[in-house]
Amino acid sequence: MNETFKKIVDGLRYNTETSTKICTYESDVGPSDFKFEKTALFRTPRGRFFLAGFGGALSRWSERYENNGSIGGEGLTPIETEAARSFAELHADADTVAEYFEFEDA
């Protein structure tokens, strides 16, 4: 599967090669499982966030197939800062989250 992604969305170019990878999530099932996925959070040089990755037929990257089916796929999806923070809080350590997002002490 491809781990380099480029896509233009709403006139903005997203590119994994020119962006900073913040963290990666890889499911705990094997690549042959329909639920498998590998997804990374990136930040562009201008500060926009996006997810890029690939996965099986029951992952976030699934693609429609024929009438009611789905197959594994890959892609790139821009996300808002709050969604990026949520992803990072789940899949990165505290120092990484603090490096890319505003926070306050409890």
Residues listed for the chain: 106
With beta carbons less than 8 A apart as the criterion, state whether 54 and 1 touch: yes
Give the pTM: 0.90
- Judge contact between 78 and 12, C-beta under 8 A: yes
For tokens 């094997």, name the residue.
Answer: 30
66-85 pLDDT per residue, tens: 888 899 999 999 999 999 99
Give whole-number Cα distances, 46 to 8, 42, 51, 77, 89, in Å. Answer: 15, 11, 15, 16, 21
What is the pLDDT, as a whole number, of residue 66? 87
**Any idea of the CA torsion for 44, 46, 47, 48, to the nearest 10 degrees?**
-60
Distance from first CA to last CA of the chain, Å, rounded? 41
The pLDDT assigned to 42 comes to 98
For the chain, list residues with pLDDT below 70: 1-2
What pLDDT is recorded for position 86? 97
- Write phi, then psi, for 24 (nearest 5 degrees): -135, 140
